[in-house]
A and B are shown apart, each in its own frame.
Chain A
Amino acid sequence: MLEIHGVSKSFAGVHALESIEFTVSEGQLVSMIGPNGSGKTTLFNCISGFLRPDAGKIVFQGKQIGARAPFEIAQLGLSRTFQSVRLFAKLSALENLLVSMQQHQDDSILGRFFHTPAIRRHEATATARALELLERVKLTAHQAKPAGELSYGQRKLLSIAAALMPHPKLVLLDEPTSAVNPVAILAIRDLLREIHAEGQTILLVEHNMEFVMELSERVVVLDAGRKIAEGSPRQVREDKRVMEAYLGS
């Protein structure tokens, strides 16, 4: 589904990524780990179009996406969340989800504006989907609240729900558990487990090892912009280079 071939990126001479190579297949839950500054978020930004790789190919469902704009990639069915939760603070929780559906309905300019029956049906479907997701992340009671007024954990859940909203083929989650309290971590873990069981393909960047080891089928380890290991959670845990990278040799 997602193939990363020899992707490199450098900032002012510093190699943030060097010939990264890995793939994510349909239905998998793959995690990317690595110490701070190892290039995980840079890679995420390359995949989602916010950065353009200097070299290499990124192929999503057979299409090269390395040079496309973020919104085009999103429209192809690749959603993402941001490490520091980004939501539209002034829009309500429900509206935050509906915005994600904006471009995923075939509609005309006229329809967007005049709310033709077709659009009304789409809006109804979108609202139903949004309400279902809100139910799943237990935010139904807060649907009318501006997103800015939710707690951090709630916002994190809401941002994951927003990413899931357009039925993405692949969802990239950037540190879903960072700065979240233990109870919310459990909620996030359960949510990911559920959607993965339903067949959702997920690529995760995470710091929380326990979380990664519990959920992932495969783990990719980056260090200083290079891939140093890849395998099952158990293989990775026992890999010498990974230990060195984390413990600092």
Chain B
Amino acid sequence: MTFFASEIVNGLVLASFFALVAGGLALIFGVVGIVNFAHGDFVMIAGYFFYELYVHLQLPYLIAILLTVLGTAVFGGSIYWLALRHLVERAWYAQLLATLGLSILFENIAQQIWSPNALSVATPSTLQVAIHIGVGANVTVQDVYVFIGTAVCLICLWLIITKWRWGKAMRAVAQNREACVVSGINVKLVALLAFALSTALCGLAACLVLPMQDVFPTVGLSFTTQAFVVVILGGMGSVRGAVVAAVIVGLVEALAAGYISSGYTDAFGYAIMILILLVRPTGLFGDRVQRSGWSSL
């Protein structure tokens, strides 16, 4: 029971992380219209930002987080404006290849700057205190703070895309790009904002997860593939679907790692994705009308 409960807690922490990263990926796919294979690398880079600010410059914890989130958003926005902007409206495989190239570029530049070795960041000791909850699982303050951080962030995201003028524009663009162009919405700016917002989520995800996960240059790719598993499972472009799928994948991976084999953690995420896709080719919250074949009539 204790073991089960602590695996559930692990699963939920993992789910929070996936929700932030995959939610951003879904936003990029839905609003910007790009298959971003470099998404996980923004988390990796944010991890290094945070390391520099918090460990190197010894800034206060919360200030370091804030600056990391802002820095990642600005960095993401600039990369979008410089390079990825030109991929909008290109075929999906061209986007995948180009962003894969970007990912390799990031990974190896990071290796040049920070060496291939893993860096770990210790959070303030106050966060490492364990809280005892009824079922016997140990939950640290850090875990609680990951849940709260994620929840607050997802609520903010929801408020942004439902209440804020530009957020509403994002949803409109996701639904019908042409109509938005015609009706005078600045689609380019909306896409830029959505991209920066998504990378900000990556920045936050990196800060929240860092004490539990080391950062090293090649870590981004595994984040990317996991985020794609979650996004495809949730239905491409659906942020809500991504959040639900994140919980499923997080729990499945944690339980599988605990009870079956920790060597195959990633494999279980894929297995779930493939199984669900065979039943629902457009994912859990995918557009049902959308055709799923190799080419439509």
Tell me the A residues contacting B by CB distance below 8 Å. Answer: 12, 45, 50
Contact = CB atoms under 8 A, between A and B. Distances in A.
Contacts of A50: 297
Interface string B229-256: 0000000000000000000000000000
A191 B297 CA distance: 27
Question: Which applies to chain A's interface (DSSP): helix, strand, loop or mixed?
Answer: loop
A45 B296 CA distance: 13
A45 B297 CA distance: 9
Contacts of A12: 289
A50 B289 CA distance: 16
B289 to A, nearest CB: 8
3 contacts: A12-B289, A45-B297, A50-B297
Interface magnitude class on chain B = under 10
Contacts of B297: 45, 50
A12 B297 CA distance: 18
Nearest to B288: A12
Q: Which 3 residue pairs across A and B have the least CB separation, nearest first? A: A50-B297, A45-B297, A12-B289
Nearest to A11: B289
Interface in B265-289: 289
Contacts of A45: 297
A120 B189 CA distance: 60
A50 B291 CA distance: 12
A59 to B, nearest CB: 23
Nearest to B297: A50
Nearest to B289: A12
B251 to A, nearest CB: 34
Nearest to A45: B297
Nearest to A70: B297
A185 to B, nearest CB: 25
Interface in B19-55: none
B281 to A, nearest CB: 16
Nearest to A86: B297
A12 B289 CA distance: 9
Nearest to A51: B297
A36 to B, nearest CB: 18
A50 B293 CA distance: 12
A12 B287 CA distance: 13
A141 B289 CA distance: 44
B249 to A, nearest CB: 31
Nearest to A82: B297
Contacts of B289: 12
A41 to B, nearest CB: 10
A71 B297 CA distance: 14
Interface string B56-87: 00000000000000000000000000000000
A241 B289 CA distance: 34
A12 to B, nearest CB: 8
